[in-house]
Chain A
Amino acid sequence: MTTEVLPPLPLVNELTAPFWEGASKGQLVIQHCNSCGHFQHAPEPVCSACLSFDLGSAAVSGKGTVYTFCIPTQAFHPWFEDRLPFVLAVVELDDQPGLKMITNVIDVNPDDVKVGDRVEVTFQPLAEGFVLPVFRPVAQ
């Protein structure tokens, strides 16, 4: 008997819905304050910059820089067992200083990734219709 191993999938909520809906349309969508224009990720019920509760979301450029990364070589979830090694990264987005997200960098030999590399968003199907925004090196 074999059971299909699914990736970790989101239990979408009010705050995360724009991110996942955006990804399914090929857009990187980040929470955005309607009052002061501050982006924040991960999303929260209140804007940490101005304390407004009037929060929306907006598509961002999808361009950024590798702030840091590591190369997991041990799976902590069965989905990743035959996907090792991969690049787990924090990417700082161009759209606001310090706006960062946890992500993967794909389409690259993991050992060739460097802090400071320029990257751009791309989209990877997960399962059950979910799409994951990930990054790839910007062509030099």
Chain B
Amino acid sequence: MAKKNRVAIVGVGYSDVSRGTGYTLDKLTAQASVAAMDDAGIKPTDIDGVVVHSFPHQFVSSTHTAAMLGIPDLAFYSGNVDGAAYSVAAMHAIAAIASGSAETVLTIRTVHKDGAAGGGGPVGKHIAGNQQLSQPYGSFAGSHWAGMYMQRHMAMYGSTEEDFGTFAIAQRKFAVANPTESFFHEELTMEDYLNSRYIAKPLHLFDCDYPVDSSSALIFTTEERARDMKQKPVFFDSWANGTTKEADFSLVGDMTHSSPWMASKRMWSRTSLKPSDVDTAGLYDGFSFIAMQWFEALGFCGEGESGAFVRSGATTATGSLPTNTDGGACNVGRRHGANFFIEVTRQLRGTAGERALPKKPEVGVVSNAVGGFAACALLTAE
């Protein structure tokens, strides 16, 4: 008979991260996994589940990962290439532990810099599948749909490039305070932001996450086991996926109300917590407009009001919702969602070091992706 367990995060870890590690996907994966096991104070024999999310063209196998790490027997595993990046691994692991399918699950997201954003189409080859209905128009990269999502928001609500720039500036401040992880060490001015080149107008270079080689790992387990481990556990209070009826990011029915709205509504429907209970946020910033859509979808501000919300200072260290306190993926490099789960965990359990927020947070929210698919979760310190 299935049981329902409370799920905790007990370990977090990163591989070496740089613009070009020269490491294989497997080596990065192993580095992050070992770091997460060290953080949790556990051994491979304590793990009975592995979930990996990777790109089809950068596939990392969950069973091979287990073998590489000396994990003897898996009660649960999955290797995913579909959906909302790291959060897919997290959602699978939560479901496995909550249902009793596994007890202690290693979750991983590994990404190589090159080709990670789907940059460019094959040259001199004919385009198979439905991409033949987008690539001949010059639609290749995430930056293309991202520019179109920004434009739609600007047209619907009168938001401006400066609104998105305000967010980029706010999270850069956190990055400057995180010198060991951030690739950027100087504050950003609005002039810097507006003068950064367009990739797909209105999308600027500084709206984009920073491509790196990285692997990120987190270990989840039951509350019962978590209580005996090295770190103070952080708990999942509520979690949810959401998708749109249209899978193609460029063709979703309503670009300003895409999958974050579905995931947020579902997440709030499963908890007694409210947006006003949340003390810190880690919101996906593959492009800065994505975090802005999450502010609106999660109900931290009104529809279309994310620009004013960020301008108010709410997302800074002393604001009502310090957001992306590690600096976000625009600054610490592309971790495809995992860094938000890791940083909010560090803040909630009190291991953020000098970045510890002035007011110790008790509740955090994390999110991943936008458009066709997304996920979010509420984390609590107790």
Contacts and interface: CB of A to CB of B under 8 A. Distances in A.
Contacts of A76: 119-121, 138, 140-141, 144
Contacts of A134: 137
Contact of B136 (A7, A48, A71): A7
Contacts of B203: 70
A6 B135 CA distance: 12
Contact of A73 (B146, B155, B197): B197
Contacts of A110: 201
Contact of A10 (B136, B146, B200): B136
A103 interface: yes
Nearest to B199: A74
B265 interface: no
Interface residues on B, range: 35 or more
B130 interface: yes
Contacts of A104: 137-138
A79 B123 CA distance: 9
A12 to B, nearest CB: 8
Interface residues on A, range: 35 or more
B190 to A, nearest CB: 20
Given A88-B137, A102-B250, A43 B119 contact: no
Contacts of A16: 130, 132-133
Among B143, B197, B250, chain A packs the most CB atoms within 10 A around the CB of: B250
B248 interface: yes
A6 B125 CA distance: 9
A132 B149 contact: no
Interface string A4-18: 011111111101100
Given A10-B126, A98-B253, A100-B251, A80 B138 contact: yes
A102 B139 contact: yes
A88 B148 contact: yes
A70 B144 contact: yes
B130 to A, nearest CB: 4
Contact of B133 (A9, A88, A102): A102
B202 to A, nearest CB: 7
Contacts of A78: 123
A123 interface: no
B23 interface: no
Contact of B140 (A7, A71, A77): A77
A130 B143 CA distance: 27
A71 B133 contact: no
A68 B138 contact: no
A8 B127 CA distance: 7
A106 B145 CA distance: 19
B134 interface: yes
B198 A71 contact: yes
Closest 5 A/B residue pairs (Cβ): A70-B147, A115-B155, A10-B132, A11-B126, A76-B140
Interface of A: 5-13, 15-16, 19, 41-43, 48, 67-74, 76-80, 83, 85-86, 88-90, 98, 100-104, 110, 114-116, 126, 130, 132, 134
